[in-house]
Structure 1
Amino acid sequence: MKIIVPMAGRGSRLRPHTLTVPKPLIPVAGKPIVHRLVSDIAKVLGEPIEEVAFILGDHAFFGDDVVESLMELAAELGAKGSIYRQDKPLGTGHAIMSAKDSLSGPAVIAYADTLIRADFDLDKSADSVIWVKQVEQPEAYGVVKLNGTNEIVELVEKPQEYVSDLAVIGIYYFKDVGVLKNELQHVLDNDITHGGEYQINDGIKRMMKKGMKFVPGKVDEWMDCGNKNVTVETNQRMLGFLENEGENMIADSVKQENANIIEPCFIGENVVLKNTTVGPFVSVGANTVLENSTVKNSLIQSNSKISNANLDNAMIGNHVVYNGNFETISIGDYSVLE
């Protein structure tokens, strides 16, 4: 089994945090989004992963440190790591075809801006599985249309009239991803675009027209990391899941002086808490200092210093110095507010 991870986008909706760090590497509950996604997919697949192929943007933004992190992730799964580049943002189909040398055999394609909790058996009798989640406003999503035997017969983007309430979450299984490659090659060769972009759906629709069997797979939880507010919410939900699963999220090296931790929280290595209450639902990265503060429902990354703060629904980057009384804030890396 292979895992193909398109992650070339810059994550503009999550700025300023993605001005210096690609969105898939933003930590949620103490671990980068893409690390959580790939590890969770490997866990639910329950079989050896042969290769993890990552599709990145230009080298200036996705540099050597990003490549090193991703290769370590692949190695942790006992898999070969491969790096490809999508130099121009020409759509989901174009991104996948940037990794065409790895598009063979059984594979999962997963876009690295979402997190899931799931427990499922992979239907290997199908040519493809498209994972979906029931949503309240299907007109805001791409959805699947099912026939009477629970097979997917159509993909509809943001339907104005009701088709179904099963939204496509951006994770796909292909029994032979080489078939998708052939269909996407046709899309590229014939310049089939939407808004100037080549889309994975056009390759999938060509497979459907040839009678290939597509079935839905359902996840228990689908969590977005599209902007600051939903990322903070995803952090809350993930901390709750990890607590229920018995994961220890507070490092032994945390130093406390007149401090109180209200779990669930992730507190990283060598964090210092002084005259501070943290939690619930807070993640704090390594080497950060919090003093004279109260923090809840927030994400604070590494190597920052937070003083005299009363924070709720906040997101603070790496190497930040903050001293103030704002409550709901979003501060990117290397900012100083005193």
Structure 2
Amino acid sequence: MKALVLAGGKGTRLRPLTYTSAKQLVPVANKPVLYYGLEAIRDAGITSVGIIVGETGPEVRRAVGDGSRFGLEVTYIPQEAPLGLAHCVLIARDFLADDPFVMYLGDNFLIGGIADQVSAFRAGGYDAQILLTRVAEPQFYGVAELGPAGEIIALEEKPAAPRSDLAIVGVYLFSPVVHQAVRAIGPSDRGELEITDAIQWLIRKGHSVQSHMVSGYWRDTGRLQDMLECNRIVLESVDRDIKGAVDTLSEITGRVVIAPGAVVENSILRGPIVIGADTKISSAYVGPFTSIGADCVVQNAEIEYSIVLDGSSVDGVSRIAHSLIGRNVEVSRASGPPYTHELMVGDHSRIQVRS
């Protein structure tokens, strides 16, 4: 069995961060989202992985390499434009050959892995198996309607009046018959080859399309609030591990991870939090559910429930919360009158200030 991991797309909901970085490489607890998916694939016993890459392909290649660090053999498959999930299957035909495969959306976050789902697919002999989870607002997702034996009888993409509360999770399992389906369908109204249309084709042709309920935590990390929530969930499971230097004036409470080379001086850290390598925390408060990357500086500042990426600094600012700060960003306090906000902000940014 093989895996097809989708790591293309533009990540428009996380702009401006994704103008310069792949959305699949935004970190959760200081580890890129994509890595969690690759580890789940490996733990399910799959080692041959094809990764679909787009404009951010060079960055993904640098981050993943040949896959050996994960125990995988990785083949990269360029996609000239984001033309739909079914198009990814279409262009991966040579790599997939006639093997069954799991298709894993690289920006999806699924706790608990996929080993059980892969085992159920193999044992059931299905032509397709779709992972589902119950959601409060199904109108924002692809939605499945099930038959009495758990078989999928219909799919709708973001329906105005959903027939169920079962949302499609970004992990699919297919037999080689799906290659007939992706060749048979045409582009949707938005000009893409939709995987839901390919699955509907399988259903119409009488192929077995089964559901598998996801009982654990799942998120599509395409929005800020989803990234922060995934970060919170992972941090809740970390164990205290302090390898950096902490002075006697600092107060460390709860599950706190401090990487080698990090320095904490005269600060309060209340876990769960993760501090990256060679980061300096000085005269600061770092509150729960915060991840701070490597080579950062946080001084004379307060921050909590946030993600700070590598190489950034927060100096003299309070109080930052519910924030995602990109790489090599400087957040500082303006000195002297007039007491104004001074901003240099890129396209599609969002800033909230309290005056």
Residues 248 and 80 of structure 1, relative CA distance in 2, 3 Å threshold: farther
Partner of 1:84 in structure 2? 77
For 1:66-81, what aligned pairs fall within 5 Å after superposition?
66-72=60-66, 74-81=67-74
For 1:104-119, what aligned pairs fall within 5 Å after superposition?
104-118=98-112
CA distance in structure 2 between the aligned counterparts of 1:158 and 1:316, rounded to whole angstroms: 30
Residue type of the partner of 1:69?
A: A
What secondary structure sits across from 2:17 in the alignment?
coil
1:178-233 CA-to-partner distances (Å, cap 9, x unmatched) read 2212221222xxx3433221111222122222322222222211123212233222
Shift, 1:243, TM fit:
5.0
- Residue 318 (1) aligns with residue 327 (2): yes
Partner of 1:215 in structure 2? 210
CA distance in structure 2 between the aligned counterparts of 1:153 and 1:142, rounded to whole angstroms: 14
Residue type of the partner of 1:93?
A: A
For 1:37-76, what aligned pairs fall within 5 Å after superposition?
37-43=37-43, 45=44, 47=45, 49-58=46-55, 61-63=56-58, 65-72=59-66, 74-76=67-69
- Residue 252 (1) aligns with residue 271 (2): no
What secondary structure sits across from 2:196 in the alignment?
helix
Q: Which runs of 5+ in 1 are unaligned?
A: none
Q: Specify which of 307, 324, 329 is matched with residue 315 of structure 2.
A: 307
Partner of 2:284 in structure 1? 276
Residues 218 and 253 of structure 1, relative CA distance in 2, 3 Å threshold: farther
Q: TM-score, normalised by structure 1?
A: 0.86
- Residue 98 (1) aligns with residue 91 (2): yes
CA distance in structure 2 between the aligned counterparts of 1:290 and 1:229, rounded to whole angstroms: 23
With 16-25 and 76-85 compared, the bigger mean Cα shift is at 76-85
For 1:141-290, what aligned pairs fall within 5 Å after superposition?
141-174=141-174, 176=175, 178-187=176-185, 191-219=186-214, 220-243=216-239, 249-290=257-298
Structure with bigger RCO (C-alpha 8 Å, 6+ apart): 1
CA distance in structure 2 between the aligned counterparts of 1:277 and 1:12, rounded to whole angstroms: 32
Q: Which runs of 5+ in 2 are unaligned?
A: 241-254, 335-339, 350-355
CA distance in structure 1 between the aligned counterparts of 2:323 and 2:139, rounded to whole angstroms: 30
Shift, 1:330, TM fit:
12
- Conservation of the 8 A alpha-carbon contact between 1:314 and 1:330: no
Shift, 1:316, TM fit:
0.8
- Residue 24 (1) aligns with residue 17 (2): no
Q: TM-score, normalised by structure 2?
A: 0.82
CA distance in structure 2 between the aligned counterparts of 1:331 and 1:134, rounded to whole angstroms: 38
Residue type of the partner of 2:321?
A: D
1:120-141 CA-to-partner distances (Å, cap 9, x unmatched) read 3531213322111101122222
What secondary structure sits across from 2:40 in the alignment?
helix
Shift, 1:302, TM fit:
0.7
- Conservation of the 8 A alpha-carbon contact between 1:316 and 1:330: no
- Conservation of the 8 A alpha-carbon contact between 1:143 and 1:156: yes
CA distance in structure 2 between the aligned counterparts of 1:97 and 1:324, rounded to whole angstroms: 51
Aligned residues: 319
Residues 18 and 162 of structure 1, relative CA distance in 2, 3 Å threshold: closer
Shift, 1:25, TM fit:
1.0
CA distance in structure 2 between the aligned counterparts of 1:227 and 1:298, rounded to whole angstroms: 14
